[in-house]
């Protein structure tokens, strides 16, 4: 009897060890195969994946953009979306696992509070369920019937696992290029300064740009620093060219800027330690530190609970030129766009006028964002002092009546002179622009 017990014990021990090895290696599939609540559907094997960055939700006026697991809210699926605010209707999530099992649940629609009164707004569609963390693809539908999925276009679900180490320390999210944007010189100077500051990754949403800038974009894409997301919003809607609905009209604020900023945060949530949210004509510039790495090491160490760092915006009028003309280089004269090295005069801050800020964020701390502040976040917000870091924003003046003598001289971009000029020249040559 004792020998029999020993044999039984050894058998059970081997069984447990073998089961543990199988679960470690194939655990995800072992658990999935036993889902009691999932509905197996032969049609699921015929699902179609969208190849587009904007996908209409059938039989509605709404659109899907991209889908992510949000590990912070019980591993729900968050679908970045564009929702027509006056046409709300019941929506359903149909999410599937490896083309086998599909489940449907009623969708929770969250239209962001900053829609600026435009008919369409940046939105999140949340899919809740017991097994959402295992889902591989999802579609938002006006029908709860799983048998209809053969006619739907599914989104792949990203951010399936969390990470504590990242591919990049700093990612810059550029919300939109539109109107055949062709400001080549300012773009290349900004990119090269950001590289010198420690940025390894830039994401840009492209509706339209000029032919010269397209060459530059393709160069940076080949180099590996630039990720280009096609953004054909004008194919689906009449996007506004501004932020004021009364003044500018249109269906959606500023070519969908709020949608792309939020999409970029989730796209880089487990790719990048920090994300910079700013426009292409803005540089978030450290002044007290040589680069972004040193800046954020000190700021984060001093403010451990902060996930959003707000940076002051400062205007450098493109109408005021540095008088020595030392950077008016003949090599750049045929390059379209603004030479930011020539514009070192900064408008004074106006204490009675709101100075909008842009942000450096920990993306894992942010749930929803607007342009100048977050809408939902975890942790604290820190307003970074002017002397520590500020935005160099070369553009049309806001205080156009001021003379050069009334402006402040700010030559921070000149600190990059030697490497910047060499790198800009090489990039323009490699892009067949110079």
**CB atoms < 10 A from the CB of 27, how many?**
11
Nearest CA among 264, 234, 245, 206 for reference residue 115: 245
Report residue 304 as tokens: 């451990």
The pLDDT value recorded for residue 15 is 59
The CB-based long-range contact list for 322-329 (8 Å cut-off, 24+ gap) reads 329/421
Report residue 19 as tokens: 């089961």
The pLDDT value recorded for residue 33 is 35
- DSSP-based three-state secondary structure for 434: coil
- Phi, psi (5° rounding) for residue 34? -105, 15
CB 284 within 8 A of CB 360: yes
**355: Cα within 13 Å, side-chain hemisphere:** 18
The pLDDT value recorded for residue 175 is 87
The pLDDT value recorded for residue 152 is 86
Report residue 389 as tokens: 């870091």
Q: Which CATH architecture has domain 168-430?
A: Alpha-Beta Complex (3.90)
Give the CA-trace dihedral at 13, 17, 19, 24, to 10 degrees. Answer: 160
Domain boundaries, the chain: 39-158, 168-430
The pLDDT value recorded for residue 4 is 55
- Per-residue pLDDT of the chain in tens (434 residues, 90 and over written 9): 455 556 555 556 565 555 544 444 444 333 333 343 444 444 445 678 899 999 999 999 999 999 999 999 999 999 999 999 999 999 999 999 987 689 999 999 999 999 999 999 999 999 999 899 999 999 999 999 888 777 789 999 999 999 999 999 999 999 899 999 999 999 999 999 999 999 999 999 999 999 999 999 999 999 999 999 999 999 999 999 988 899 899 999 999 999 999 999 999 999 999 999 999 999 999 999 999 999 999 999 999 999 999 999 999 999 999 999 999 999 999 999 999 999 999 999 998 898 899 999 999 999 999 999 999 999 999 999 999 999 999 999 999 999 999 999 999 999 999 999 999 999 999 999 99
């Amino acid at each position: 009897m004792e020998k029999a017990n020993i044999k039984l014990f050894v058998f059970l021990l081997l069984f447990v060890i073998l089961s543990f090895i199988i679960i470690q290696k194939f655990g995800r599939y072992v658990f999935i195969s036993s889902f009691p609540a999932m509905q197996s559907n032969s049609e699921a094997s015929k699902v179609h994946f969208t190849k587009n960055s904007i996908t209409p939700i059938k039989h509605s006026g709404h659109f899907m953009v991209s889908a992510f697991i949000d590990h912070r809210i019980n591993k729900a699926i968050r679908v970045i979306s564009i929702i027509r605010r006056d046409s709300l209707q019941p929506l359903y999530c149909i999410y599937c696992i490896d083309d086998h099992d599909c489940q449907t649940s009623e969708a929770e629609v969250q239209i962001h509070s900053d829609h600026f009164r435009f008919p369409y707004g940046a939105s999140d569609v949340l899919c809740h369920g017991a097994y959402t963390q295992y889902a591989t693809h999802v579609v938002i539908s006006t029908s709860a019937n799983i048998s209809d999925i053969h006619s739907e276009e599914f989104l792949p679900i990203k951010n399936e696992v969390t990470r504590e180490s990242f591919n990049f320390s700093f990612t810059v999210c550029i919300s939109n290029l539109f109107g055949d944007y062709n400001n080549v010189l300012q773009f290349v100077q900004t990119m090269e300064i950001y590289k010198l500051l420690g940025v390894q990754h830039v994401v840009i949403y492209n509706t339209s740009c000029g032919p010269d800038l397209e060459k530059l974009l393709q160069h940076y894409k080949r180099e590996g620093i630039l990720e280009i997301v096609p953004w054909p919003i004008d194919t689906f809607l009449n996007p506004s060219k501004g932020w004021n609905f009364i003044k500018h009209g249109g269906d959606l604020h500023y070519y969908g800027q709020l949608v792309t900023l939020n999409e970029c945060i989730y796209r880089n949530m487990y790719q990048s330690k920090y994300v910079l949210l700013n426009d292409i004509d803005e540089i978030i510039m450290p002044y007290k530190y040589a680069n972004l790495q040193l800046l954020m090491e000190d700021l984060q160490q001093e403010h451990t609970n902060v996930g959003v760092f707000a940076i002051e915006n400062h205007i450098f009028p493109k109408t005021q030129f540095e008088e020595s003309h030392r950077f008016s280089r003949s090599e750049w004269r045929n390059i379209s766009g603004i030479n930011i090295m020539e514009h070192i005069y900064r408008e004074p801050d106006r204490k009675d006028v709101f100075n909008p800020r842009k942000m450096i964020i920990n993306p894992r701390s942010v749930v929803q964002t607007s342009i100048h502040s977050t809408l939902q976040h975890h942790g604290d917000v820190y307003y970074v002092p002017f002397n520590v870091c500020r935005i160099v924003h070369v553009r049309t003046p806001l205080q156009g009546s001021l003379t050069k003598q009334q402006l402040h001289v700010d030559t921070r971009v000149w600190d990059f002179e030697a490497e910047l000029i060499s790198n800009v020249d090489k990039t323009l040559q490699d892009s067949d622009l110079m």
